[in-house]
């Protein structure tokens, strides 16, 4: 069994990742594809049955030379189209949440001693943590995302001064790592969302004891690889 919670150097990230998929890869992807596959099938079904009429109207109006026809169709069916759009967006959000939180719950069970994790166990973890997942989504949407967009936008402005190009290569991996750390810490500790957010940002640049050199570059380099 692998040791999950330990200090790792840059090379260990790579080797331990290969070891993980060697030991647990088959079981990991089996449940991952099954859970995500159900959501994907549902999304495709909504897209096909919900939007096929829209595309049919677009092509029909173009072939008939009646460009105003589609505008009239949208006006007459605005409520239905908006509802389908919201449902598709909701399913996309669910798919993103599953994609990001699945490894969090999977690794937590493996670290607790499980040799194999069943699909219904992962689904149970999602259900049991529904409240925390809702808080996470709200925090990411209204706190983390606006701050991230501001920092990224400011970096793009600095592209005209050349330094922005360098900053972008630093900022994207840093934000991704911070969000990943946030999710793992939030669901593996008793910290609140804001406490985990603070920890995830601080841990990018220093260890808790504050005496060792910054781990920033090994986290940054591992993500790029």
Judgement on whether residues 26 and 83 belong to the same structural domain of the protein? yes
Q: Which domain does 18 fall in, by range?
A: 10-128
Domain boundary residue, one of 77, 97, 128: 128
Judgement on whether residues 140 and 117 belong to the same structural domain of the protein? no
Rg (CA), the chain: 22
Domain boundary residue, one of 128, 150, 166: 128
Residue 2 belongs to some domain of the structure: no
Structure confidence by residue, pLDDT tens digits, 160-211:
777 778 888 889 989 999 999 999 999 999 999 999 999 999 988 887 665 6
Output the pTM of the full model.
Answer: 0.77
Please say whether the dihedral angle defined by the alpha carbons of residues 5, 7, 9 and 10, taken in this order, is positive or negative. Answer: positive
Judgement on whether residues 14 and 121 belong to the same structural domain of the protein? yes
Structure confidence by residue, pLDDT tens digits, 20-76:
888 888 999 998 888 888 777 877 776 677 666 666 666 665 555 555 555 666 677
Domain boundary residue, one of 105, 128, 151: 128
Total structural domains in the chain? 2
Residue 3 belongs to some domain of the structure: no
Judgement on whether residues 148 and 179 belong to the same structural domain of the protein? yes
User: 222 phi and psi, to 5 degrees?
Assistant: -65, -40
CA dihedral 190, 193, 195, 197 (to 10 degrees): 130
Judgement on whether residues 77 and 183 belong to the same structural domain of the protein? no
Judgement on whether residues 46 and 65 belong to the same structural domain of the protein? yes
As a whole number, the mean pLDDT across the chain is 81
């Amino acid at each position: 069994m692998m040791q999950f919670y330990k200090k790792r150097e840059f090379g260990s990230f790579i080797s331990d990742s290969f070891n993980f998929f060697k030991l647990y890869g088959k079981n990991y992807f089996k449940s991952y594809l099954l859970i995500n596959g159900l959501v994907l099938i549902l999304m495709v079904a909504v897209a096909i049955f919900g939007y096929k009429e829209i595309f049919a109207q677009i092509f029909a109006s173009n072939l008939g030379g009646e460009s105003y026809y589609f505008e009239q169709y949208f006006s007459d069916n605005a409520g239905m189209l908006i509802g389908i759009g919201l449902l598709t967006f909701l399913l996309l959000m669910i798919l993103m949440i599953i994609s990001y939180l699945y490894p969090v719950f999977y690794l937590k069970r493996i670290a607790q001693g499980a040799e194999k994790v069943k699909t219904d166990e992962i689904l149970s973890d999602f259900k049991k943590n529904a409240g925390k997942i809702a808080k996470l989504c709200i925090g990411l949407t209204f706190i983390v995302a606006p701050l991230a967009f501001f920092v990224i936008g400011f970096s793009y402005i600095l592209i005209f001064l050349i330094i922005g190009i360098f900053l972008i290569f630093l900022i994207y991996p840093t934000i991704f790592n911070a969000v990943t750390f946030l999710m793992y810490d939030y669901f593996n500790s008793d910290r609140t969302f804001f406490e985990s957010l603070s920890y995830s940002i601080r841990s990018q640049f220093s260890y808790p004891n504050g005496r060792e050199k910054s781990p920033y570059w090994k986290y940054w380099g591992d993500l790029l690889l």
